[in-house]
């Protein structure tokens, strides 16, 4: 049997197994294990070995390895100041994460492209039909974070966060083989939706959870506090007025996942980016057309 056919068969079998795996229990286990504190004397050899195998660059970490009590803390490590300069141009749209390009395009009739031959609904993604209507016809950029990447999420533009929505869902892996095989992956998974208001109009920054990433933390708003509301459709939402600067941290993942940015039609010109291109926080990915209007 040709290797390509074997790979295809093995991939389909693996995806079938993932569908019936208790991914939430697996995610809970990962969270517990990654939160186990290690004695100071073990941190450097243990975390150093794990980092080498995962390809994590510990030189970039703000703190020394022994300062992180558990692997979970190391995973969401802040970086040393100055390592991710933010493009200063007034018209710049910047990458919110360190990650690779897995999708770029224009929203067509309320649909985005997940992979070749697979489309999904913008309304389902952002969990708000009004916001989806405002963004229909606009451009979008999808970025995939590998486990080795820096896992804090930053604002791509100067804006106000006017709403935050936590959408319940599954925790399927978001690795490339799942993206090209599982219909509607991004709208099946849990996600955190930042609704942004800027001079250009409304935009969305969507953080998609995955296996091992059952919680996406943010200090922008307390979704368990006053003002948050639960809906029958599994959306917990809160309205707010929180200004964020381009490049400012807004959330963090606990393992690799995906971020999707969507902008209003005719307002942003995204840089031509090839699939798989690697980006860093603060790097220009596009420009605002007629900034300040």
Point out the residues that are catalytic. 98, 154, 257
Q: Are the CB atoms for 261 and 66 separated by under 8 Å?
A: no
Strand-pair category, 92-94 with 249-252: unpaired
DSSP-assigned states of every residue in 187-201? HHB-EEEEEEEETTE
Residues in the chain: 293
Neighbours of 19 (CB within 10 A): 11
Q: Are the CB atoms for 106 and 167 separated by under 8 Å?
A: no
DSSP-assigned states of every residue in 93-109? EE-SSSEEEEEEEE-BT
């Amino acid at each position: 049997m040709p290797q390509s056919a074997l790979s295809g068969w093995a991939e389909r079998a693996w995806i079938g197994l993932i569908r019936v795996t208790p991914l939430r229990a697996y995610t809970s286990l990962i969270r517990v294990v990654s939160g186990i504190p290690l004695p100071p004397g073990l941190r450097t050899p243990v975390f150093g070995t794990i980092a080498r195998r995962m390809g994590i660059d510990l030189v970039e970490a703000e703190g020394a390895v022994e300062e992180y009590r558990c692997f979970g803390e190391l995973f969401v490590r802040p970086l040393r100041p100055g390592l991710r300069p933010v493009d200063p141009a007034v018209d710049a749209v910047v990458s919110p994460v360190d990650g690779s390009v897995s999708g770029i395009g224009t929203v067509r009739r309320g649909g985005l492209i997940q992979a070749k031959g697979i489309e999904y609904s913008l309304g389902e993604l952002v969990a708000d039909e009004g916001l989806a209507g405002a963004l229909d016809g606009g451009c979008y950029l999808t970025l995939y974070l590998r486990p080795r990447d820096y896992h804090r999420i930053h604002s791509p533009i100067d804006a106000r966060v006017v709403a935050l929505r936590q959408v319940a869902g599954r925790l399927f892996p978001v690795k490339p083989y799942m993206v090209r095989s599982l219909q509607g992956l991004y709208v099946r998974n849990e996600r955190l939706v930042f609704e942004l208001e800027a001079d250009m109009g409304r935009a969305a920054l969507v953080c998609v959870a995955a296996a091992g990433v059952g919680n996406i933390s943010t200090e922008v708003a307390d979704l368990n506090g006053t003002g948050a509301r639960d809906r029958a459709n599994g959306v917990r939402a809160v309205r707010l007025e929180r200004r964020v600067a381009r490049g400012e941290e807004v959330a963090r993942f606990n393992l690799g996942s995906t971020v999707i940015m969507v902008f209003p039609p005719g307002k942003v010109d995204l840089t031509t980016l090839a699939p798989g291109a690697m980006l860093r926080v603060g790097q220009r990915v596009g420009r605002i057309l007629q900034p300040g209007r």
